[in-house]
Structures are given as C-alpha cells and as structure tokens.
Structure 1
C-alpha cells in the first residue's frame, strides 16, 4: 500500500469517526420525554387510551346556516281541471228513477293543501315553564298549515313537503329529517284540520255546508245529517241528486229513507249533493254551476299565490347563493378562522390540514386523507399525536399519544382516535433511513476532506 493510499484511508476514517462521534453529521427529529422546560408524557394508544383522549371537549366548527337552508319547498302542486258539465238524463216530473252513485273506494287519507297537521315532540330538558320555573311539560304540540306547494316549515327541521303523503309516509319522512338534524325522533303526527278534501251539500236541507273528507270517508247519511237533515214538504216528490265526475245520480227520498244501504254510500272528495223535488232540476243545475264558478275562483287565487311564491323563492335563492359565494371568497383570502392539525416527520405531505366542519376527524382521516406515509422511510412503530395542554397551570405540557402500528391491527385504533385543534401528527424515520441519510450527508464532506489531504 502506497503512502498516499494509507494517508487517504486514515483521513477518511478519521473524519468519519470524528463527525459521527461529535454527532454533527445528521440530526433527525424524535419524540423524547426529556425536554428542557417542557413536560412530556408518552401514553401508548390503546382502546382505553382512545376513550381518555377523546374526553377532551371539542365542538367542530359549523358551516354557516345559509349552507343548510333551502330557498323554498318542493314542486308546486297542479291545480287540476274543472269538472265537466253533468250528464242530465231525460226526466219527467214526478217519475224520478233510482240511479244511486257507486260507493267511493275506501282509500287511505293523503295530506293536502290547507290541511292542518299537529306535531307533538318531546320538550327539551333546558326549556323551563315560565309559570312554575320547572322543566316544561313532556310534550310540545304545534299546528302547521300545509301551504299551496304542499309543504310546511318546522323550526330546526326546515321546509318539508307533506302534500300527497299518507300519515305513515309523512311520519317516515319526518323521522329521517329528525335523525339527519340530530334531533330526538320521539314525536307523533296527526291531521288536526281536514280542509283539503270535502263534499258539498245544499238545496232542501237545514244548512248548506261542506263536509270534510277525513280519515274516514263520509257517507251520504253523514252528509245529510251534517246539513241538518232534509227539509222537503212533500217527501214523495223529494230526490237527492249527487254530482260526481260530471255524472248526475239520483235517489228518490222515499228510497233513501227505506233502504239503509243507500244512506251508507261512501262519498268522495269533490262530490256535490243537492236535495230538492223532481220539479226543481233547474235549481240543482244552478247550484252545481255555482260550485264550478267557486272552483274557478279558488284556482285563480291559488295560481296567483303560486306565482308570488315562485318570485319569493327566486329572491331567497339569489340571496343564499350570494352569501355562499361570499363565504367561498373569504376562504380563498384566508379571512375565515379554521381549526387545523399539522403533519410532520415521515408523512407523505408535510403541512397543515383543516379539520372538517360539522363533524369529528380521526387520526386515520388526517393521516390517510393526506397521502399517508411510506413504510420504506417512516417507522410504523413510532406514530405520535402530540397534544399540548390547554390548561395554563400545565405550562404547555405535552402528551405524546403513541401508536405502534407494526401490527396493522392497531390501525383500527386510528379510526377511533379523534383529533383536536393544533394536534401534531409526527412519524419518526426508520433506523436504517437515519443511517442512510447520515451517510449521504457525510460522504461529500469525507471525500472533500480526503481530496484536501491529498
């Protein structure tokens, strides 16, 4: 071996041992319980430790209310067509035949425009009775009127469309909305005012009236009774006429009184009943024409209301969109305060990550939602969540929650470990990675020193 070779070898070895011995070749961050002026407590992440860590109170920030609001309720309901003129049979006064209408199908009641629904919910425990000062009653009842578009607006729930639904379907829809809003789903729903479906009765009765169609469809006898009974001087000439879907049906009054099955005929929404004599067919037709005119006026009024509602919904939607766009602009300009966690060490992407709005984030969400880490360089045995104490009496003491993921089963704990603002997720490097990086930095220095020695 030449003197130059011996000198080079000695120089390289001397520099290597000198730099390694002095510890100046490479420093890598680690977690240590010995930190000057700062208390560090390391706690392994176990199922019990996850419960302990998650006890620290934290309420995630929420999106502004205008992100959960809607401009208006559902699709406007159709107005429907007016009834056509009735088909009038050829009649000879005094010879009215029996032409009873078929009994209407027994259908489940569907909520309609104008109905009042009563919602009974469990009272909140923090609501006090203003008179007694104690906790308010167990149930709170509130009536809501179904609007022209078939919807109602319920506090804390928002606008929900009930028009056209059965009671059971409406309860199911409300239950889903209560669950989505995190509200106690203990409630009951009933129709307290039947206003959307009815039967008209007039003519030779005590009082012209409208008989509502409720959960149980009214019979012809119910309608006559609701109108105060028949007021005909000569019953042998009396006749009860029923108009349904453009067809005229007739029942002689004597047959009506003698045959119970005629009184039990179920009536349908939109039926018009007129009591008169066989000589007063013109009066019956006039009554029906008045009903058609009333229906026309109601349809026109409803159409005007829907037009106004459409305009109002458009204005509301424009205001909501503007507020949401302003919020997005504030986010881009950094003018919105967020809660952040930070990723450091051998993660794929170091940096800060905002915590989600309106929900908790776990260690798995933060770690793997940002690219995870490479096991070639990151040590799965040394995954830490560094959390500084918020108690001033602790002088910033740090808890190092330590997850050992050498056994991949332990990663399930990461899906339950909830993050808190300003947490730092840190992964140490593999031991071989530390040596590799140290040598990568040392070799250029050694070679340069050797070259200078030569």
Structure 2
C-alpha cells in the first residue's frame, strides 16, 4: 500500500513495546540513611546545701529576633499549593503529605529528592529554601509551584535542667524561643523559695545568671530570646559548682553526638560508594554483553540500494521511525537508489499466517510524502528495501553481458 496518513496510522497500530535498559541504569546509589540517636540527658548532679549568698544579677545580652534557618537534622516537607497533591507525586514517590513523610537535612546540609537530585537547604530561611527548590525543579523541567514547611525541628535546641518540672531539650522553631517559654516547656520552675534560686544560662563559654524572684516579676527577662546551644539550669544551691558540672555533662553529650553523627555519615558515604561501584559493574557488564551480541535485541534490516546492507538495532526505551533508520545507517545514494521506490516489508506476527507480508510503498521524490517517514514507526524484523534506478540495473546488465561478448570473440579468433 502507498504511504499516506491513514496507512501510517494503520502500521503504527501494530503492538510493540521497546526494549528497556536494565534496572541498574535507573538506580542511584544515594540513600538518606539514619543517624544514630544521641544519648539521654543525664540527671542533674547532687551537691550538698551551702550557705545562702544573694544571687548576682547578670543577664545575657539581648538577642534580636531572626528568621529560622534550616539546619542538619531538620525534617522538611514539600507540598504543592493544590490540596491533596505533593511534590513527591511529581517524582513518582508515595504521597508524603498524607503520610507525614518528608526529607531529613543530611550532615552535608542537603536533601536528596529521588529522580530530581540534591538541594542544599542548611543555613537557609524558609523563603531562601523555597527559592532554591524552585531553581532545582525548574532545572528538572518540573512544576515549581511548591511550598516548604518544617515537619520536625531538630537542628536548633536549648537544654533546660535543674529545679524544673521535667528537664528536657526544647527545640527552637519558627517562633523565637524566649526564656519564659523554655522554662514552661520544661514543666515550669520547681523551687520552694524563689528568693533562694537562680536561673543560670550558659552561652558560648560565658555564664549568665538571673535570680528567680526577679525573673518572675520582670516580663522583659521572661521575654529574653534564647539562641541555639544555650543551656539553662535552675540552681537551688547558691553555687556555681552544680551548674558547671551540669554544663560539662551537656558539652560531653554534644561531643559524643557529633562524633556519632560523623561516624554514621562516614559509614553512609562508604555504603554509597559500594553501591555505586556495584551499579557501575552491572552497567559495564551489560555494555560488554551488548558488544559481544550476548544480549537479545530488536532489529530492522536494510537491503537494496542502501549505503550498507545491514541490520539496525532498534533503540532502548523509545521507538524509531523509518527516517531514523534510513539516516542513522548512512541513507542511500540517489544515483543508484531510486527514491521513488522505497518499501517497508513487515511479516505477519500471526503464526497461522506464516509467510504473509504487508508492504508499504514510499515515493520519497514527493517531499510531502517523505515527511511521513518520520511518523512511520518501525517494528522488529521489518525490512527496508530501496529499489535500484533503471539506469543502474541497465549498467549492471551490461557489465555482466560484456565479459560474455569478449570471451566469445576471443574464442572465435582462436579457432
């Protein structure tokens, strides 16, 4: 049948699924991994009661409110603005919003979004982080209409201990954490006589202190903004020894936690390296088998007046057109090949019709008709045949006929 829009549509209806590359070519070696948990906070050390001394008022310098900056260990959640849809649906993941799943900021300050890549969020405000994600999604040709929220605040903390209802670690969230809020989060003050108690604040190697009775009567002191890493201890002993012992324990715990995280991150990097090496080995083995012909492939066969009588492998994970096959194989020489007679021969896939062939005829001298070659999808075992020019057939006949005439003449002369 002649090439036409209808005949091309009929030819393309033949079922065909292109061969896929092995799974190793789609896998990545990245993994969020899980960091070790820090040890539990120690109990406040016990020291004997001592003689009362009037607490000295030495409050920390005021801190200006600043936007929250995302840090290592924070758990972030990405969601689109439309209800019920998450950004993970764009990358083929499970719905993170409904399951409250998201991404943990790793030790290198990044999150890894499958099928998209890495985005560095540590040290950024929410607005700056959304701009960073906007650039990453745009670079991957995905919709940038996403919103970012922090599901778990783990990066910035304040430790509260001593004479409080429940010693605890208070995370710093989007709202500035004040001294009053931190004490309330620890169950409030547990002091029998406020006049004899002191709130001590350890910050960056400097110890500050506020008498409890002054703290309870001064709203400005209650609204003092705390910084990440501050340690608060409510002391009843009127002495610094107990507070300093507590602070030393907290410093030791922080050091152990950091060392544990560094070791876990090192193990994670090693694991990713092993996985990457295994993936590269599987990919290399596949390429080698492909070069040696040990992997099954789908082929299209070229014959007639083509640049090279050959078979052309169909590509992985996509479909090839007649134009792809002709041009990738070097095309054909129009001085010998007849562009008016290009044929595609397709055997019937039905075993009951063994030997049946469907043929399509393309007249490439018509530019409009040749555009259909780019839309005609090839199938395994198709044969592309290009007929020779009439003059080519005549020249070949003469080349075969002249040696016969010469040999006959020589024989006559000899006789």
CA distance in 1, matches of 2:30, 2:338: 54
| Segment drifting more, 336-345 vs 194-203 | 194-203
Aligned to 2:61: 100
Aligned to 2:121: 164
| Pairs within 5 Å for 1:339-354 | 339-354=298-313
Aligned to 1:383: 342
Say which structure, 1 or 2, has more relative contact order (CA 8 Å, 6+ apart): 1
CA distance in 1, matches of 2:338, 2:393: 11
CA contact (8 A) 1:240 1:275 kept: yes
Inter-CA distance 436–320: structure 2 relative to 1 (3 Å threshold): same
Inter-CA distance 94–211: structure 2 relative to 1 (3 Å threshold): closer
Aligned to 1:431: 390
CA contact (8 A) 1:54 1:417 kept: yes
Inter-CA distance 147–440: structure 2 relative to 1 (3 Å threshold): same
**Structure label with greater radius of gyration:** 1
Inter-CA distance 192–402: structure 2 relative to 1 (3 Å threshold): farther
Q: CA RMSD in A?
A: 4.4
| Pairs within 5 Å for 1:139-154 | 141=99, 143=101, 146=104
Aligned to 2:400: 441
CA contact (8 A) 2:55 2:210 kept: no
TM-score, length-scaled by structure 2:
0.72
Residue 285 in structure 1 maps to residue 257 in structure 2: no
Aligned to 2:184: 225
Aligned to 2:38: none
Unmatched tracts of structure 2, length 5 or more: 36-52, 90-94
**Residue 108 of structure 1: how far off its partner (Å):** 4.7
CA distance in 1, matches of 2:304, 2:144: 46
Inter-CA distance 105–50: structure 2 relative to 1 (3 Å threshold): farther
Residue 360 in structure 1 maps to residue 319 in structure 2: yes
CA distance in 1, matches of 2:399, 2:176: 89
Inter-CA distance 407–335: structure 2 relative to 1 (3 Å threshold): same
Equivalent residue for 1:65, pick from 23, 27, 33 = 23
**CA deviation digits over 1:313-355, x for unaligned, max 9?**
3443443344334333433432211111112222222211211
**Residue 176 of structure 1: how far off its partner (Å):** 8.2
TM-score, length-scaled by structure 1:
0.67
Inter-CA distance 450–255: structure 2 relative to 1 (3 Å threshold): farther
Instruction: Give the length in aligned residue pairs.
Output: 380
Q: Secondary structure of the equivalent of 1:313?
A: helix
**CA deviation digits over 1:251-310, x for unaligned, max 9?**
555665556565455544333333347934333332222221001111222233234334
CA distance in 2, matches of 1:98, 1:215: 24
